[in-house]
Structure 1
Amino acid sequence: MSVADKVRSPCVSICALDENDVCVGCHRSGDEITRWTRMDNEERREVLRKVSEREKRSLIHG
């Protein structure tokens, strides 16, 4: 698989974990960030689904 075929990281270069170990920039957990480079595209897509849900919750709960 070429680099162009890989699911891209949601990183926005605002790297700070909150009290729940979730990045305030990309909404990935510390573990997801650490494992990202070793994940296949299916795992990455699952993380992105979780990221989307976390981002929605953060907008609702501020």
Structure 2
Amino acid sequence: MALSPCVRNCCLDQHDCCLGCGRLLAEITEWHQANEQRKTEIVEQAAARRAERPVNQFNYLAADPSE
């Protein structure tokens, strides 16, 4: 079961991408209707977006605490 990547640090950038979890606004609104395969895709895409983002004051909460 794919868990929501939400970190309760919601703030959208100019591309409607959440600075906290890395999901696009469309993916956030789609989440509850998405099947497990789609949720997994969303989680993977959000993680890739977060990894591409430079470290700044907004995404430190979304970082993996094990790193």
TM-score by length of 1: 0.82
Give 4+ residue runs of structure 1 displaced > 4 Å after superposition: none
Matched, 1:20 2:15: yes
Aligned to 1:52: 47
Structure 1 gap segments, 5+ residues each? 1-5
Question: How many residues are paired up?
Answer: 56
Q: Of the two structures, which has the highest relative contact order with CA contacts closer than 8 Å and spacing of 6 or more?
A: 2
Larger radius of gyration: 1
Q: 5+ residue gaps in structure 2?
A: 57-67
User: Larger helix proportion, structure 1 or 2?
Assistant: 1
Map Cα deviations across residues 22-45 of structure 1 (whole Å, 9 max, x no partner).
Answer: 000000000000010000110000
Provide TM-score, normalisation by structure 2: 0.76
**Deviation (angstroms), 1:59:** 3.2
